[in-house]
Chains A and B, each alone.
Chain A
Amino acid sequence: MNNPVQLKKILVVEDESDIQTIVKITLETLTDFEIEVCDSGKKALFNAKTFSPDLILLDVMLPDMDGPTVLASLQKEPQTKLIPVIFMTAKVQPQDILHYKNIGAIGIIPKPFDPMTLPATIRNIWKGSHG
C-alpha cells in the first residue's frame, strides 16, 4: 500500500550524548530532515505530540523507561499512534528484531552504526514500510 506521507521531521530519542550528537550532526549535514532530539522516554512522549515527527528514532535503553514501553505509550495515544518508530539498539539478536517488529517497530538500527550510511539506512527502512 502506498502512503503519501513524506519523511521530513525526525525525533531522535537517545540519552547517550555522544550518539545523540553524531546522529543529529549526521542527519542535519547530510539530509534536509528537520531534527529534534531528546534524552528520555517521558520527553519523547511529550515531543511526539508537540513536534509531530514523521518518524521517531528510539533508543531501546533509556533512563526512565525502555524503548518498547515508550512505543506502547505512543500507540495508546490517538495523536501519536501512527508515528512510525525505528529502534536503535546494541546487541541485537534475530529474535529481538522479530520481537521489536511484532510490537510495531518498522525497523531496527544496530549500534554501533556507520554515521555515513545512517541517512540511507533510515530512508530504506522508511521506503520498506511506506512503499
Chain B
Amino acid sequence: MVDQSALFAEKMMLLKKEFKANLPGKIDTITKKWQNLQNLEWDWNLFEEIYISIHKLSGASGTYGFSKVSEIASKIENIMRAALENKKILNSKTMKQIESSMQELIQYSNDC
C-alpha cells in the first residue's frame, strides 16, 4: 500500500527543486521590466504588469517554502499597490527602495 504522505513529500521535494531552479529566471524577467520602466517614459501598464508578477512571486514563493523571497516580494508589492491605487508616480527615494529590494531578490534567489 502506498503511503500517501511519503508520496506527497516526494512530489513536494521535486516541485520545490523545480521552483528553485526557475526562480532566478522569474526574478530576472521582473528586474529587466523594472529597468525598462526606469529607462523609458513612465508607463502605468508596464508598472501594473510588474506589480502582478511581483504579487504572483510573493504568493508562489511563500507556498513553495521560500519565505524570504516571499517577504521581499511582498514588501515591493505593498509599495507598488499603494502607487497603483493612488495613481501616483513613485519618487526617486521609493524607486531606490524598490531597486534595493529587487537586488535582495536576486541575491536570495541565487543563495537559497
Chain A interface (Cβ < 8 Å from any Cβ of B): 16, 18-19, 21-22, 25-26, 29-30, 61, 90-91, 111-116
Contact = CB atoms under 8 A, between A and B. Distances in A.
Interface residues of B, number: 24
Interface in B23-52: 52
B109 interface: no
23 contacts: A16-B59, A19-B59, A19-B60, A21-B15, A25-B11, A25-B12, A30-B5, A30-B8, A61-B52, A90-B55, A90-B74, A90-B77, A91-B74, A91-B77, A91-B78, A91-B81, A111-B58, A111-B63, A112-B62, A112-B63, A112-B70, A115-B12, A116-B8
B7 interface: yes
B77 A25 contact: no
Nearest to B5: A30
State the main secondary structure of chain B at its contact with A: helix
Interface of B: 4-5, 7-8, 11-12, 15, 19, 52, 55-56, 58-64, 67, 70, 74, 77-78, 81
